[in-house]
Amino acid sequence: MRLPQQFADWFNAKGWKPYPHQQDIFVQSAAGRSVLLVAPTGAGKTLSGFLPSLIELSQNPQEGLHTLYLSPLKALAVDIARNLETPADEMGLDITIETRTGDTPQAKRNRQRAAPPNILLTTPESLELMLSWSDAAKLFGQLRYIIIDEIHALVGSKRGDLLALSLASLRHIAPTSQSIGLSATIAEPEEMRCWLSAKIDNVAIVQPQLDKDIQINILDSKAAYLPWAGHSALYAAAEIYALIKEKRPALIFVNTRAQAEMMFQALWRENDLNLKIGLHHGSLDVGQRRRIEAAMARSELDAIVATSSLDLGIDWADIQLVIQIGAPKDTSRLIQRVGRAGHQLDVPSHAVIVPANRFEVLEALAARLDVEAKRLDEMPQHAGALDVLSQHIVGRAVAGPFDEDKLYAQIITAPPYRHLSREDFDKVLDFVATGGYALSHYTQFQRLVKGVDGFWRLTSRRVATRWRMNIGTIVETSTMKVRMKGGAPLGDIEEYFVQSLTAGDSFIFAGRILEFVGVSAQQAIVRPCTAKEPKVPAYAGGRLPLSPGLAARVRAILQDRALHHYLPKQVREWLHLQAEKSILPPPDKLLVETFKRGQKFYMAAYGFAGRNAHQTLGMLLSRRMERQGYGPLGFVATDYAIAIWSRHLVTTPEALFSSDILGDDLEEWMAESTMLKRSFWQVAIIAGLIDKRAPGQEKTQKQVTINSDLIYDVLRTHQPSHLLLQATRQDAARGLTDIHRLADLLTSFEGNILHKNLSRISPLSVPLLLEVGREAVTASAVDELLSDLEATLLEEAFGYSSEEKLPSAHQGQLL
Amino acid sequence: MKEGKPAIETHFCGVRVQLGADASLYLPECKTLLVSDLHLEKGKAQSKAAPLPRFDTSEGIAKLSAAITRTNAKEVIFLGDSFHTNLHAFQLPEIYRQQLINLAKDRAFIWITGNHDPDLPEFLPGQIVPNYSAAGLYFTHQIRPEEASISGLICGHYHPKARVSLQIRQLSGRCFIQDETRMIMPAFGIFTGGLNILDPAIQKLLSKRQIAHFCHAGKIYKFPVDRKVFLKN
């Protein structure tokens, strides 16, 4: 089957030859199949996705919604729409193309509802909203194509959960539709079939064998001193600048916003050629980000320093080099980022990894070896979040009364919810309807009611209004707008950081050194200044932990002497020293070192299970050690290892590391942990228990947090099985606590501990102990600190110890 | 090794007192237990802005019972705002009335009225009074103008709490705050919010030499109020 003449002519006129996979997609769609296209950047994915629609519409011009395109980014939807106009105009096609996002003006939205375009480009949140309209069935009834872009980025997140549920609802009212998913290179494309259709046999996978040549190098720094710890890589700023001079434009990826700001400043200090270097991250003002992106598209910039904010987006002209600052953590993500370089498929992509410390060198080498072996990290598979399901169920009721059995049948077609038990579904439904037992006497939580006809409906229109204002799964921490005195908005900063500033303090943000002037109308006002040591704001948001695949590769590198010659001299020597003074971590045992340092005894365990799992392990071990009288005082966790220090030496670590620590200890700790309160807060907002934005009520984050903390405590004590607690534990297990990974670690090394008791600190533990400022402190350490403080203050203030009497003014009087 | 304790023994205006980390105050010489601002039934208050589950009353009474058992008090004085509102007091469910009556067996209960509960129902065991004295000390809910010059005064109402700065983090907790002649008790209730001790509303009641007894994680610590260590919110 060939492309219609009109299209073949158009390709010819552009001097392009259609890729085989572009033909494939057209052929498969014409045969009535849904398609997953898996390809790296530069493969003409977007045009591929729209070809079936454009062809059909060219042969059958019509009114009404024909194709729906979904993208996780508003900006992407807008850019793609603009790009689509080109072939549509040049071929003289009679097609209407429009976007709808949070930024679309109300008048335009109203008109789109009454007279929809042929092709609508929109976001998952807008789709969920449109599906709640009473005329949704009419709007989407004749839909032919659903195109889901960057689909790999959505799987595994709550946003993806919500999208999956929306798609299940959409396909129900649009039974004649076919789906086209556009994905970057991923490890297991087979897993994604079910996202395109419930009938997975009717889904074709088109994965062109494009051997995009990726060349990854690790910066072999000539710096005298490779840092032991820290993640900023500022030591290499001059060398990074040298790289940009050679190959531009360059994309420089860092892992956090603070790192982006600091590296940006550092590069400008090196900038003797006055290269145009830009900055891009999620806290910058939206207008600023769009300007930078546009400048890059016009090839006006030499380099951009960016966070994952640039992971998704439209293909650009000619990135010559991708620099990954800091360990990549995940090979799939690395490959996707590297793929941004070399827009054409036949041009190799160049990438350089700049490790920020010695351990990261190992990780960088592991990543390079994995990429060369084409080993990709798998996407995390999570069961669909229950708070998201709660939100969606309310949305179904807004659309109209529903039957619970039919709704359950529909929900389990959504991939993240395929294993949802009827029992859990009933629990979620009960929560949505009544708030769950503990809250059931508050009328505002009576959101649904079952009529005599057996159908569930909303208890009032107010529920719909509240729901509409709170759609989405992104719960932001409290931020404050930052504005230049006399004008331009610069972006958003965490509120707590602003609260720590006094007038005159300086900090870096948006690529500038700013002086804090004050707060006015809920905004932080600043002006430029040239302070010597400005503060660097910290941003909320977790860091990606080391993937299991990379962890395994790092362990292998440690053991394989032949690979050591790839390492820089300083790292080789360090490992050699470790082998001499202690031992390199063996592949089949958990290495645990103990040593004394100062007045404290240290225990270091090299689990390579990622930071989150180690952090949890630290909490659990502290509790156990506390009970057993070791007096633990604090611990620090990295992606590779954990170190705990205590008042007494641990002579038999085997007893501490048994997997039963994951039983009662874990339950108890999870019950007390403040980290869970934070998860609960987010869950409560997504599930609609607490409004981020209620009509007429502006709630500060503090008020909302206080309320949710109290509710959490009481639910925990009196109704531990409450749905929201279940959802919170689910979140915690997969996110910050990474329980599964910890469980794997403990069970695989059960009874297999290699204990080295040393007379002094080991070389391998040095980076751990230098993770300054990241220590967690145990309860008994807090007690000790408070008692010490008590003694000190009393001594200073009154010159006596707390056991003596407080001087009294005079006797009380009897009345 | 330094460690905090669940209760601290000290003196206030010449009288021996035991301050508990549970926010209770005990006078061992006359076996009198003082608690303040229980705000029972606050959970039931149908506040749209701040929905709170309704278990605070049973927890509050359980906490009270534990304090009574621990001290074996013969007299219990409630320093006001024992109930969240008058209405809640009068409509106290039967099960809680019975619990209070049981606790009051062989003991004297003294209920001082507060601004949230200026009227109290008769079914409550014990006496209902606007203020009280014992052991040379004077107890009231909120300091009225005519009480301003009384020495050895203990009051409630303000729910004092403090924010303490340690090197590595900041901690928040309820606390007792006093100068040479007056003491303000922390709230005993489960759901009560608090006012920072550095707030002018509290500071204006006290002289310069202040001591705070800070409660955290079941232990209580004694700190002279030092601005470097105590933070405003």
Which residues of B fall within a CB distance of 8 Å from A801?
A: none
Which residues of B fall within a CB distance of 8 Å from A718?
A: 53, 55
Instruction: Give the minimum alpha-carbon distance from A704 to chain B in angstroms, rounded to a whole number.
Output: 8
Q: What are phi and psi of A195, to 5 degrees?
A: -75, -20
Q: Do B226 and A717 touch (CB under 8 A)?
A: no
The answer to whether the beta carbons of residues A478 and A495 sit under 8 Å apart is: yes
Q: Which residue has the higher pLDDT, A270 or A708?
A: A270
Q: What is the pLDDT of residues A294-313, one digit of tens each?
A: 888 888 999 999 998 888 77
pLDDT at B46: 55
Q: Do A786 and B4 touch (CB under 8 A)?
A: yes
Q: Which of A445, A707, A782 sits opposite B50 (nearest CB)?
A: A707
Q: What is the pLDDT of residues A155-189, one digit of tens each?
A: 888 999 999 999 999 999 999 999 999 998 888 89
Which residues of B fall within a CB distance of 8 Å from A706?
A: 50, 193
Mutation for testing the A interface, residue in B11, B15, B54, B183 having most A CBs under 10 Å? B54
- Residue A549 is encoded by which pair of tokens? 């695949």
Diameter over CA atoms, chain A:
107
Environment class of A136 (CB within 10 Å of its CB; exposed 0-12, middle 13-18, buried 19+)? buried
| pLDDT cut 90: percent of chain B above it | 61
Specify the range with the lowest mean pLDDT, choosing from A112-116, A357-361, A374-378, B221-225.
A374-378
User: Could you give the CA distance from residue A722 to residue A724 in angstroms, rounded to a whole number?
Assistant: 6
Alpha carbon of residue A630 to chain centroid: 37
Q: What is the pLDDT of residues B53-105, one digit of tens each?
A: 667 788 889 999 999 999 999 999 999 999 988 888 888 888 889 999 999 99
Please report the residues numbered 607 through 646 in chain A whose beta carbons come closer than 8 angstroms to any beta carbon of chain B.
631
Instruction: Give the minimum alpha-carbon distance from A788 to chain B in angstroms, rounded to a whole number.
Output: 7
pLDDT at A48: 86
Q: Is A346 on the interface with B (CB under 8 A)?
A: no
Q: Residue for token digits 């299991």?
A: A548
Which residues of B fall within a CB distance of 8 Å from A802?
A: 8, 222
pLDDT at A782: 74
Q: What is the pLDDT of residues B190-231, one digit of tens each?
A: 877 789 999 999 999 999 889 999 998 889 999 988 777 888
pLDDT at A323 over 70: yes
From the list A233, A225, A286, the residue with the least C-alpha distance to A258 is A233
- End-to-end CA separation in angstroms for chain B: 31
Q: Residue for token digits 């011009």?
A: A61
pLDDT at A211: 63
Mean per-residue pLDDT of chain A: 85
Q: Which of B4, B46, B136 sits opposite A812 (nearest CB)?
A: B136
pLDDT at A589 over 80: yes
DSSP A219-240: -----S---SS-S--GGGHHHH
Alpha carbon of residue A180 to chain centroid: 25
CA dihedral B114, B119, B124, B129 (to 10 degrees): 60
Give whole-number Cα distances, B4 to A579, A774, B172, in Å.
44, 25, 16
Alpha helix stretches (DSSP H) within A515-610: 548-559, 569-581
Q: Do B191 and A710 touch (CB under 8 A)?
A: yes
Which residues of B fall within a CB distance of 8 Å from A789?
A: 164, 166, 221, 223, 229
pLDDT at A811: 31
- Residue B39 is encoded by which pair of tokens? 């705000």
pLDDT at A37 over 90: yes
Mutation for testing the B interface, residue in A437, A599, A715, A790 having most B CBs under 10 Å? A790
Q: What are phi and psi of A190, to 5 degrees?
A: -55, -35
Environment class of A513 (CB within 10 Å of its CB; exposed 0-12, middle 13-18, buried 19+)? middle
- Residue A301 is encoded by which pair of tokens? 């910039």
User: Could you give the CA distance from residue A355 to residue A729 in angstroms, rounded to a whole number?
Assistant: 34
Specify the range with the lowest mean pLDDT, choosing from A95-104, A329-338, A560-569, A691-700.
A691-700
Confidence class of residue A801 from pLDDT cuts 50, 70 and 90?
A: very low
Looking at residues A422-444, what average pLDDT do you find? 86
Q: How many CA atoms lie within 13 A of A176 on its CB side?
A: 10
User: Could you give the CA distance from residue A645 to residue A771 in angstroms, rounded to a whole number?
Assistant: 14
Which residues of B fall within a CB distance of 8 Å from A775?
A: 168
Please tell me which residue of chain B has the smallest CA distance to A713.
B53
**At CA A229, angle to CA A244 and CA A656, rounded to 5?**
140
| pLDDT cut 90: percent of chain A above it | 39
Quote helix, strand, coil % in chain B, to nearest 5. Answer: 20, 35, 50
User: Could you give the CA distance from residue A391 to residue A386 in angstroms, rounded to a whole number?
Assistant: 9
User: Could you give the CA distance from residue A66 to residue A62 in angstroms, rounded to a whole number?
Assistant: 8
pLDDT at A780 over 90: no
Q: Using alpha carbons only, how large is chain B's radius of gyration in Å?
A: 17
Confidence class of residue A601 from pLDDT cuts 50, 70 and 90?
A: very high
Instruction: Give the minimum alpha-carbon distance from B118 to chain A in angstroms, rounded to a whole number.
Output: 23
Mutation for testing the B interface, residue in A714, A725, A803, A805 having most B CBs under 10 Å? A714
Residue B152 has what DSSP assignment?
A: S
Q: Is A273 on the interface with B (CB under 8 A)?
A: no
Q: Do B11 and A805 touch (CB under 8 A)?
A: yes
Confidence class of residue A86 from pLDDT cuts 50, 70 and 90?
A: confident
pTM of the model: 0.78
Q: What is the pLDDT of residues A642-698, one digit of tens each?
A: 999 998 999 888 888 887 888 777 777 776 667 788 788 889 989 988 877 555 444
The answer to whether the beta carbons of residues A685 and B27 sit under 8 Å apart is: no
CB pairs under 8 A between A and B: 135
Q: How many CA atoms lie within 13 A of A27 on its CB side?
A: 11
Which residues of A fall within a CB distance of 8 Å from B13?
A: 808-812
Residues 6+ apart with CB under 8 A from A229: A357, A767, A768, A770, A771, A772
The answer to whether the beta carbons of residues A162 and A388 sit under 8 Å apart is: yes
User: Could you give the CA distance from residue A804 to residue B10 in angstroms, rounded to a whole number?
Assistant: 8
Which residues of A fall within a CB distance of 8 Å from B147?
A: none
Mutation for testing the A interface, residue in B163, B209, B221, B233 having most A CBs under 10 Å? B221
Q: Is A791 on the interface with B (CB under 8 A)?
A: yes
Which residues of B fall within a CB distance of 8 Å from A647?
A: 1
Q: Is A699 on the interface with B (CB under 8 A)?
A: yes
Specify the range with the lowest mean pLDDT, choosing from A78-87, A438-447, B11-20.
A438-447
From the list A345, A433, A429, A428, the residue with the least C-alpha distance to A385 is A428
Determine the length of chain A: 815
Residues 6+ apart with CB under 8 A from A409: none
Q: Is A772 on the interface with B (CB under 8 A)?
A: no
Q: Is A499 on the interface with B (CB under 8 A)?
A: no
**At CA A445, angle to CA A137 and CA A674, rounded to 5?**
110
Looking at residues B19-47, what average pLDDT do you find? 88
Which residues of B fall within a CB distance of 8 Å from A697?
A: 49
User: Could you give the CA distance from residue A357 to residue A228 in angstroms, rounded to a whole number?
Assistant: 5
Which residues of A fall within a CB distance of 8 Å from B52?
A: 707, 710-711, 714
Which residues of B fall within a CB distance of 8 Å from A692?
A: none
Mutation for testing the B interface, residue in A431, A599, A710, A780 having most B CBs under 10 Å? A710
Q: Do A707 and B164 touch (CB under 8 A)?
A: no
Q: How many CA atoms lie within 13 A of B52 on its CB side?
A: 24
Q: How many CA atoms lie within 13 A of A528 on its CB side?
A: 5
Q: Is A810 on the interface with B (CB under 8 A)?
A: yes
The answer to whether the beta carbons of residues A322 and A340 sit under 8 Å apart is: yes
- Residue A391 is encoded by which pair of tokens? 């939100």
The answer to whether the beta carbons of residues A307 and A282 sit under 8 Å apart is: yes
From the list A685, A320, A289, A688, the residue with the least C-alpha distance to A511 is A289
3-state secondary structure at position B165 = strand
From the list B157, B189, B154, B196, the residue with the least C-alpha distance to B175 is B196
Q: Is A797 on the interface with B (CB under 8 A)?
A: yes
- Residue A532 is encoded by which pair of tokens? 């010597």
**At CA A301, angle to CA A298 and CA A307, rounded to 5?**
105
From the list A559, A637, A644, the residue with the least C-alpha distance to A601 is A644
Residues 6+ apart with CB under 8 A from A292: A278, A279, A280, A301, A304
Q: Do A790 and B49 touch (CB under 8 A)?
A: no
pLDDT at A812: 29
pLDDT at A373 over 50: yes
User: Could you give the CA distance from residue A406 to residue B225 in angstroms, rounded to a whole number?
Assistant: 64
Confidence class of residue A807 from pLDDT cuts 50, 70 and 90?
A: very low
Mean per-residue pLDDT of chain B: 88
pLDDT at B176 over 60: yes
Which residues of A fall within a CB distance of 8 Å from B221?
A: 786-787, 789-790
pLDDT at A805 over 60: no
User: Could you give the CA distance from residue B26 to residue B192 in angstroms, rounded to a whole number?
Assistant: 21
Give whole-number Cα distances, A427 to A53, A430, A450, A718, A734, in Å.
41, 5, 15, 17, 21
Q: What is the pLDDT of residues A252-309, one digit of tens each?
A: 999 888 899 999 999 999 999 999 999 999 889 888 888 888 888 888 999 999 998 8
Determine the length of chain B: 233
Q: Which of B49, B53, B166 sits opposite A718 (nearest CB)?
A: B53
pLDDT at B4 over 60: yes
The answer to whether the beta carbons of residues A301 and A271 sit under 8 Å apart is: no
- Residue A320 is encoded by which pair of tokens? 């010559």
Q: Do A711 and B54 touch (CB under 8 A)?
A: no
